[in-house]
Structure 1
Amino acid sequence: MSGLYLDNAATTPVRREVLEAMSPFLTSAYGNPSSHHTVGEQAAAALDDARRRVARVLGVRPGDIVFTSGGTEANNLAIKGIALAALQNSGARHVITSPIEHESVLASVGYLRRLHGFEVTVLPVDADGVIDPGDVAGAVRPDTAVVSIGLANNEIGTVQDAAALADARGSARLHLDAVQAAGWVRLSGLGADALTLAGHKLGAPKGIGVAMIRGRIPLEPVIHGGGQQRDRRSGTENVAGAVGFAVALELAEAEREEAAARVAAARDAFVARVLREVPSARLTGHPQRRLPGTASFTFAGVSGEAVLLELERRGVISSSGSACSAGSDEASHVLTAIGVEHDLARTAVRFTLPHAWAGSLDAVAVAVAASVAAV
């Protein structure tokens, strides 16, 4: 093996079809979509078309789609925007989330608490990272502005029951962070009021994301300026990025069912072999309700970072968890939240497969066993 990249939860390569679709809007059709001339109108038409295509996949109206700079901005807009509007309109000052959310969700909730006096309920999760919808229903109050939950976890791959969460949230707004779920899980008909995505997890470039926020919902913008995108997110739109995002999302959705079945079969065989060959290995996350391409392990008694270095020396590129906290000496907040002891959490190694994966992962399992033995 030579340079096998198994860190697709961190980012994915841009697909050829996406590059081809974007190219005209980086070269000849480079207009500002707010300009009222032929070049600008060409860009505006492409932006509108991209918005319609994204909305079609998500099963919403085009006006519900806000293009952002990525998943982090999309999460900030959905959480802060809905909560601050609710505070202004009704005095709502309560938000609900879980301890295993992405840093951008937890930081947005923390901002609301520190600067605006919101009360925060952090729901418990079980040892597999599953949130009990009954706990959501029990936590919702008349002044709950938003419930923010990750549809699929970026570290352990556990997928939540979105329909049950939607039923449990009562009159509160439900935001689903679907950044990791896109391309693996159906995104339409989930019952969410807001849903967030990032292009670079799907084969689109970095720097483009989407916040789906239903148009009837009051929203306080977090970026102010010229009032673009119905005054929900000011700033000149990334037309090429939006076009690329639409193509990537359509392709991922068209391939989703076949890719999920194929990749999950390879992952399951890989997990079984790693657990068989490495006595210290423990799979984290739900054993069945997990993203098809995700396998995350702890290896008691060894350094996860050392295992990663050994794996890369053997031609396998993986990670210890979220790329947004890479380089930190702290144990993963996701793993400690599901009850993994601090020192054991620091041994974590995560493998995330691409949609296009086909074939066996036996050679990777052999490399894992050899790497753990070497450290």
Structure 2
Amino acid sequence: MIERVYLDHNATTTTRPSVVSAMAEAMRATGNPSSIHAEGRAKRKLIEDARRRVAALVGADPACVTFTSGGTEASNLALSPTIRDARDPRPVTRLLVSAVEHPAVAVGARFERSAIGTIPVDGDGVIDLAALEAAFGRHAAERPDERALLALMFANNETGVIQPVAEAAEIAKRHGGLVHVDAVQAAGKVPVDISALGADFMAIAAHKFGGPAGVGALIRASEALYVESPVIRGGGQEKGWRGGTENAPGVVGMGVAAEEALAGLGAFAGLAADRDALEAGLRRICEVTVFGEAASRLPNTSCFSAHGVAADRAMIALDLAGIAVSAGSACSSGKMKASPVLDAMGVDHDLSVGMLRISFGWSSKAGDGERFLEAFARVAGARPDPAASAA
């Protein structure tokens, strides 16, 4: 049987063994974390220990961490015109999003379509800061008694391009705005600090850094920030931000994964060498365009189009060869069409529909890149170049 090579870690990464063990132990523990008896208090302690670990991953106050079902729910919770700030009574009536946001953010969640403005990006997928300045300036001039909210991802899920979040946040704050950062693809891969970024809200998801799927968190920079209308209402759990009994095993797993990911950031940075070697090898095989190459990128991600190679055919052939890759966002799986992200970057349609994404992860092994290159050379109709494997 062929040993498979998994190169789709941006979709979901391998669950860490320690996470599985910790979750199993938490599942064996009886007690509702809202109960005041000993069993309930023990379960509550597990959740609060995990909250501290998750907060440490992004430099936040544990009191400002709200556990959710994932990054999508976290962003839906934050992207609401019912956001309130105890330090500024003005309502939030406008949402500004970059043209390359994940669908969970691009649709605007609980904002009306008419209240959403899109900020363009350049050819590498980096937000146009001058256009952002102009948009905030217009809103501040036309509606001085109202605030705007910027939703900007830290790193793109398809291209891996890292956005100038701190610079964008400075613009927003100068005009009295708020900032929500989708850090789902960044947390656990590169250093993330909510205060240094100037973010007010941040969304992360456990399964992107070795935790379980179905668990995430919305993180606030200050307890002065709140929403008047939570997405899920119930018994007041999570300080009223999200009703319902907490998923204690999932939360525990997220906490363990967060702690390990934070400790492993240095090793993860080393994946940039594997990515660069893979891209060099691709260029020895055929003509390739790497998207976002001139921008700062996540160390594990390569998004490219091999000229003349159809993405759907390549994915099927690679899968049969035992190699898992992606044609973009897993949230758009099964849809072989041009990527909205690449469209926003002005990429030619013929290149866009041929896009493939390779993403290494914490569990990637030496030789994974070489296995991919050998298989891809066959897909592209070229002979494997020994120099590519030696790179």
**In the alignment, is residue 369 of structure 1 matched against residue 377 of structure 2?**
yes
How far off is 1:373 after superposition? Answer: 2.4
| Aligned equivalents of 1:249, 1:133: Cα separation in 2 | 31
Of stretches 341-350 and 144-153 in structure 1, the one that deviates more from structure 2 is 341-350
CA contact (8 A) 2:181 2:199 kept: yes
Partner of 2:181: 176
Contact (CA 8 Å) 2:90, 2:147: kept in 1 or not? no
User: Could you say if the C-alpha distance between residues 297 and 135 of structure 1 is closer, same or farther in structure 2, counting changes exceeding 3 Å?
Assistant: same
Cα shift at 1:325? 0.6
C-alpha distance in structure 1 between counterparts of 2:23 and 2:274, whole Å: 32
Q: Does 1:133 align with 2:129?
A: yes
Q: Distance in 1 between matches of 2:203 and 2:157?
A: 14
Distance (whole Å) between structure 2 residues aligned to residue 316 and residue 358 of structure 1: 13
1:232 aligned partner: 241
For residues 41-120 of structure 1, what are the structure 2 equivalents within 5 Å?
Answer: 41-80=41-80, 83-86=81-84, 90-109=90-109, 111-114=110-113, 118-120=114-116
Tell me the number of residue pairs that the alignment of Structure 1 and Structure 2 aligns. Answer: 365
Would the aligned equivalents of 1:259 and 1:356 in 2 still touch at CA under 8 Å? Answer: no
The superposition leaves residues 320-343 of structure 1 with CA deviations (integer Å, 9 ceiling, x where unpaired) of: 010101112431111111111233
The alpha-carbon deviation at position 31 of structure 1 amounts to 1.6
State the shift of 1:139 in Å.
1.5
Match of 2:316 in 1: 309
How far does the alpha carbon of each residue in 1:249-299 deviate from its partner, in whole angstroms, 9 at most, with x for none?
A: 111111102321x210111011011022112x2111233511111011112
List runs of 5+ in structure 1 lacking aligned partners. none
What is the alpha-carbon distance in structure 2 between the residues aligned to residue 200 and residue 31 of structure 1? 25
1:351 equivalenced with 2:358 (yes/no) = yes
Contact 2:204 2:217 in 1 (8 A): yes
Query: Unaligned 5+ residue runs, structure 2?
Result: 141-145, 383-391
Contact between 2:189 and 2:209, CA under 8 Å: does it hold in 1?
no
Question: Offset at 1:368?
Answer: 1.5
User: Contact between 2:120 and 2:127, CA under 8 Å: does it hold in 1?
Assistant: yes
Compute the displacement of 1:9 (Å): 0.4
Aligned residue identity for 1:270: L
CA RMSD of aligned residues (A): 1.9
Structure 2 residue aligned with 1:270:
278
Are the equivalent residues in 1 in contact too, given 2:6–2:364 (CA < 8 A)? Answer: no
- In structure 2, relative to structure 1, the CA distance for the partners of 1:42 and 1:347 (3 Å cut) is same
Amino acid at match of 1:169: A
Amino acid at match of 2:241: R
Name the structure 1 match of 2:208: 201
Deviation sequence 1:214-267 (CA, Å, 0-9, x none): 31113231111111111111111111111111111111111102321x210111
Cα distance in 1 for partners of 2:13, 2:366 equals 19
Q: Is the 8 A contact 1:151 1:176 kept in 2?
A: yes
Contact 2:58/2:187, CA 8 A, preserved across alignment: no
1:81-131 CA distances to partner (integer Å, 9 max, x unpaired)? xx323599534311110111111101235x4124xxx52221110111111
Q: Percent identity?
A: 39
- Aligned pairs for 1:286-325 (under 5 A) are 286-325=293-332
Q: What amino acid maps onto 1:113 in structure 2?
A: E
Relative to structure 1, the CA distance from residue 13 to residue 302 in structure 2 (aligned partners, 3 Å threshold; closer, same or farther) is same
- TM-score norm. by structure 2 comes to 0.89
Q: Tell me if structure 1 keeps the 8 A contact 2:150–2:179.
A: yes
| Residue of structure 1 equivalent to 2:385 | none
Q: What displacement does 1:137 show?
A: 2.3
Partner of 1:185: 190
The answer to whether the 8 A contact 2:57-2:188 is kept is no
Distance across 2 between alignment mates of 1:144 and 1:286 = 35
Displacement, 1:358? 4.7
Contact kept in structure 1, 2:23 and 2:250, CA below 8 Å: yes
CA distance in 1, matches of 2:3, 2:313: 19
Structure 1 counterpart of 2:159, from 152, 156, 160: 156
Alignment partners' CA distance in 2, 1:288 and 1:112: 31
Amino acid at match of 1:258: A
Please state whether the residue corresponding to 1:289 is helix, strand or coil: coil
Distance 2:314 2:380 in 1: 6
The residue type equivalent to 2:191 in the other structure is R
Q: Secondary structure at the match of 1:243?
A: helix
Asked if 1:147 corresponds to 2:150, the answer is yes
Following the alignment from structure 2 to structure 1, what is the Cα–Cα distance between the partners of residues 51 and 226?
20
Tell me whether 1:254 sits opposite 2:253 in the alignment.
no
Instruction: Name the residue aligned to 2:250.
Output: 241
What amino acid is aligned across from residue 130 of structure 1 in structure 2? V
Q: Distance in 1 between matches of 2:294 and 2:265?
A: 20
Following the alignment from structure 1 to structure 2, what is the Cα–Cα distance between the partners of residues 353 and 62?
Answer: 30
The separation in 2 between residues aligned to 1:182 and 1:132, in whole angstroms, is 23
Q: Distance in 2 between matches of 1:345 and 1:372?
A: 17
Residues 162 and 295 in structure 2, CA contact (< 8 A), matched pair in contact too: no
| Displacement of 1:75 | 1.0
Would the aligned equivalents of 1:304 and 1:346 in 2 still touch at CA under 8 Å? yes
Determine the C-alpha separation between the residues in 2 that align with 1:165 and 1:247: 32
Tell me how far apart the structure 1 counterparts of residues 309 and 284 of structure 2 sit (CA, whole Å).
Answer: 17
CA deviations 1:163-207 (Å, max 9, x no partner) are 212212122111110100112221113221111110111111111
Is the partner of 2:361 in helix, strand or coil? coil
Residue 4 of structure 1: aligned partner = 5
Aligned residue identity for 1:362: E
Letter in 1 for 2:159: I
For residue 40 of structure 1, report the CA deviation from its aligned partner. 1.1
